[in-house]
Amino acid sequence: MAGLGVLFGIVFAVSLLTGRYPAPGISSPLVLFETDAARQIFANLRLPRVITAAVLGASLAASGCTFQMLFRNPLVEPGFLGVTQGAAFGAAGAILFLPNVPGAVQISAVVFATVGLFLSYGVARRLRFGGWVIRMVISGIAVSALFASGLGILKYVADPLSELQEMTFWMLGGLAGTTWATTMMMLPLVVPSLLILFLLRWRLNILSLDDLTAHSLGTSPARERMLLLLAASAATAGVTAAAGIVGWVGLLVPHVARRYFGVEGNRALPSSLLLGAVMVLICDTIARSLFVYEIPLGILTSLLGASLFLSLLSSGQVRFRR
C-alpha cells in the first residue's frame, strides 16, 4: 500500500510536468516557472486539472468498490442506480435550456443525478418481491432507461451544429476547460463523501454479508447501507458533473485493487482510491498531451478499462457465482 502511495505521488508529479506547453512532453520544473505565461498555465490550468483528475479517479473507484461490496456483486459500478444517466440528462437539459449560464451544466447534472438515486431507491422500496439487491438493480435499470429516453428526446430536439455537439462531447467525458472553479464546485460534495467511505471501510465487509448475518453481528445493515450508498452516489454525482461520463474506472479499478491488495475493505477501499486516481491521471495526461487536440477522457478510460478487464477475465481472476 505504501508503494501505491509512492506510485500515486510519482504519477501526480509527472502529470504536473507533462503537457504541450512550453514544449510537448515532460518539461523541467525550471522551465515551467521561467516565463509568466508558463507560470499562469501551470497554476491556473494544469494544477486544477491534475487535482480534478486525481479526485475524479479516486471517487469513481472508491464508489465502485463500495457499490460492489454493498451489492455483493463484482459487476456493479457506481453509476447504475440512475446516477450516471440522471447526470447526463441534467447536463443535456442545461445545455439545451440554460445556455451560457455559468455552472448550469454542473449543477443540473448533480441535481438530476440525485433525483436518479432517490427515484431508484424509492421504486425499490415499493417493489414487493425479491431481496433488496434485485429490487435495487431492477429499479436502477428502469430509472436509468427513463433518463436515457429523456436524453434521447433532448438530443433529438437539440441543434445538431451546436447543442448536440456539446452534449455528445460531455457524454464522452473529459476535463478540458477545467479551472479552479470546476475543482472548487466539485470538492464540497466529493470530499465529505470520500471521507465517509474511507472511515467506514471496515464496516463495508459486514455489509457484504447477507442481511440477517450482518444484523446478527450487531449492526443496522439497512441504515448503514443507506449512508454508504448516499456517500458513494454523491461522490459519483459530484465528479460526473465536473467531468461528464468517464466509464470503466468504477468497474475495473476495484477488481485490480482486490487482486493485488486484498478483498478486505480496509485494504480494497484505500487501494481502489489510489489506483483510480493513478489510472485517471495517466489517461488524462495522455488525453491532453498526446495530440494538439484533446482526446475525450472517457474514450481512453474505456479503452484501457475494457482491455484490462478482458485480460483479468481471461486470467480467471474474476469469480462469479453460477
Partner 1 sequence: MSALSVRNLSYHYQHHPELFRGLDLEIRPGRVTVLLGPNGSGKSTLLALFLGYLVPTGGEIEILEKPLSSYRRSELGRVTAFVSQEVYLPFNYGVMEYCLLGRAARVSYWGYPDADDRAAAEQAAEMAGISHLIERNIQELSAGELQLVSIARALTQEPSILLLDEPTSHLDPVHAADVFKLIVKLASRGMTVLLTTHDPLHARQVADDAVLMKDGAVLFSGTAGEGLAAENLNRLYGAEFVEARHRDLRIPFIRLD
Q: Which of the stretches 13-21, 26-34, 55-63, 71-79 binds partner 1 when contact is defined by CB under 8 A?
A: 71-79
On whether the CB atoms of residues 63 and 235 are closer than 8 A, the answer is yes
DSSP 1-24: -HHHHHHHHHHHHHHHHEESSSSS
- Our finding on whether 215 is near partner 1 (CB under 8 A) is yes
- Our finding on whether 230 is near partner 1 (CB under 8 A) is no
Nearest CA to 19 out of 300, 283, 286 is that of: 286
Identified binder of partner 1 from the candidate list 14, 21, 22, 74, rule CB under 8 A: 74
Residue 47 or 133 having the CB closest to partner 1: 133
Least Å distance, CB 246 to partner 1, is: 25
| Helix, coil or strand: residue 26 | strand
DSSP 115-178: HHHHHHHHHHHH--SS-HHHHHHHHHHHHHHHHHHHHHHHHHHS-TTTHHHHHHHHHH---TT-
Residue 88 or 214 having the CB closest to partner 1: 214
Identified binder of partner 1 from the candidate list 95, 200, 257, 273, rule CB under 8 A: 200
- Residues in 7-66 that interact with partner 1 by CB under 8 A: none
List the beta bridge partners of residue 19: 25
Residues near 82 by beta carbon (within 8 Å), at least 6 away in sequence = 113, 115, 116, 117, 119, 120, 139, 140, 143, 144, 146, 147
Residue 115 or 200 having the CB closest to partner 1: 200
Identified binder of partner 1 from the candidate list 132, 176, 180, 266, rule CB under 8 A: 266
Residue 155 or 259 having the CB closest to partner 1: 259
Q: How many residues bind partner 1 (CB under 8 A)?
A: 33
Could you list the residues that contact partner 1 (CB under 8 A)?
68-69, 72-74, 128, 199-203, 205-206, 208-213, 215-220, 258, 262-264, 266, 268, 319, 321
